[in-house]
């Protein structure tokens, strides 16, 4: 399998974390797509993912799977031992809901803020910007942080008692927030404590160097 991604990207981080949690690093080859040069908007990449975003998983038969949630679901069920996306129908439903909520209320909002209200990836890539929309999404992301703080005040993980894809999505949101200097508000103590715990997980800690390690073992 191949993963098209960018080593420091917050969305790519989601798949890198999932790969490590599943211990699948040695099964993939990473292909670097330079976001800062706009390689993800070029015709040869758009054939792989119409949306022009990273990451993309390429299967050995040439099938492309884009979207972090879809890739995570694929990887999680590969070995028949589902650990990230829910074993029972109830778990699946809650994890999917919380992960989607983490996209809507946090990660995607931070991303819109980055692309619209900051220089983003630079003038060659950011062909349309709407700063007002960007700042609204920044405020939405801050509200999202308060929401996840309240969730994590009552349970150890985003979707309940165990680590799941929903935690990975919130981690992606906080990675992106860190890159754009949008700190977690001081009063969000439960969210901050949870994030400190998450950063101790090897899958989160080693995500950026993972592509070098994988290259060495392929």
Task: Tell me if 3 contacts ligand GTS by CB under 6 A.
Answer: no
Contact 189, 182 (CB under 8 A): no
Task: Tell me if 195 contacts ligand GTS by CB under 6 A.
Answer: no
Distance CA 144, CA 171 (A): 13
Q: Where are the alpha helices (DSSP H) in 22-130?
A: 43-46, 68-77, 89-102, 108-117
Residues 18, 20, 54, 184: which binds ligand GTS (CB under 6 A)?
54
Q: Which residues contact 124 (CB under 8 A, 6 or more apart)?
A: 38
Distance CA 184, CA 193 (A): 11
Residues 16, 20, 22, 53: which binds ligand GTS (CB under 6 A)?
53
Closest separation between CB of residue 67 and ligand GTS, Å? 5
Q: Which stretch binds ligand GTS (CB under 6 A): 3-11, 89-97, 143-151, 186-194?
A: 3-11
Task: Tell me if 40 contacts ligand GTS by CB under 6 A.
Answer: yes
Burial class (CB in 10 A: 0-12, 13-18, 19+), 186: exposed
Residue nearest to ligand GTS (CB): 9
Closest separation between CB of residue 169 and ligand GTS, Å? 9
CB nearer to ligand GTS: pick between 58 and 67: 67
Distance CA 36, CA 48 (A): 19
Task: Tell me if 111 contacts ligand GTS by CB under 6 A.
Answer: yes
Distance CA 183, CA 109 (A): 14
Task: Tell me if 10 contacts ligand GTS by CB under 6 A.
Answer: yes
Size of the site for ligand GTS (CB under 6 A): 14
Task: Tell me if 58 contacts ligand GTS by CB under 6 A.
Answer: no
Please give the structure tokens belonging to residue 194: 């949870």
Binding footprint of ligand GTS on the chain (CB under 6 A): 6, 9-12, 35, 40, 53-54, 67-68, 111, 121, 125
């Amino acid at each position: 399998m191949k993963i098209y991604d960018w080593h420091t990207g917050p969305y790519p981080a989601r798949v890198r974390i999932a790969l490590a949690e599943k211990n699948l690093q040695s099964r993939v080859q990473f292909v670097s797509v330079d976001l800062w040069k706009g390689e993800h908007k070029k015709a040869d990449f758009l054939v792989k993912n119409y949306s022009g975003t990273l990451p993309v998983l390429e299967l050995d038969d040439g099938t492309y799977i884009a979207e972090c949630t879809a890739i995570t679901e694929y990887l999680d069920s590969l070995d028949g031992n589902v650990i990230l996306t829910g074993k029972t129908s109830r778990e699946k439903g809650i994890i999917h809901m919380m992960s989607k909520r983490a996209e809507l209320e946090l990660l995607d909002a931070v991303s819109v803020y980055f692309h619209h209200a900051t220089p983003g990836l630079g003038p060659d890539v950011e062909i349309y910007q709407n700063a007002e929309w960007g700042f609204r999404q920044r405020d939405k992301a801050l509200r999202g942080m308060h929401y996840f703080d309240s969730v994590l005040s009552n349970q150890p993980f985003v979707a309940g008692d165990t680590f799941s894809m929903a935690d990975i999505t919130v981690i992606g949101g906080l990675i992106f927030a860190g890159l754009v200097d949008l700190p977690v508000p001081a009063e969000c103590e439960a969210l901050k404590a949870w994030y400190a715990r998450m950063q101790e997980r090897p899958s989160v800690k080693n995500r950026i160097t993972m592509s070098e390690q994988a290259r060495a073992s392929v």
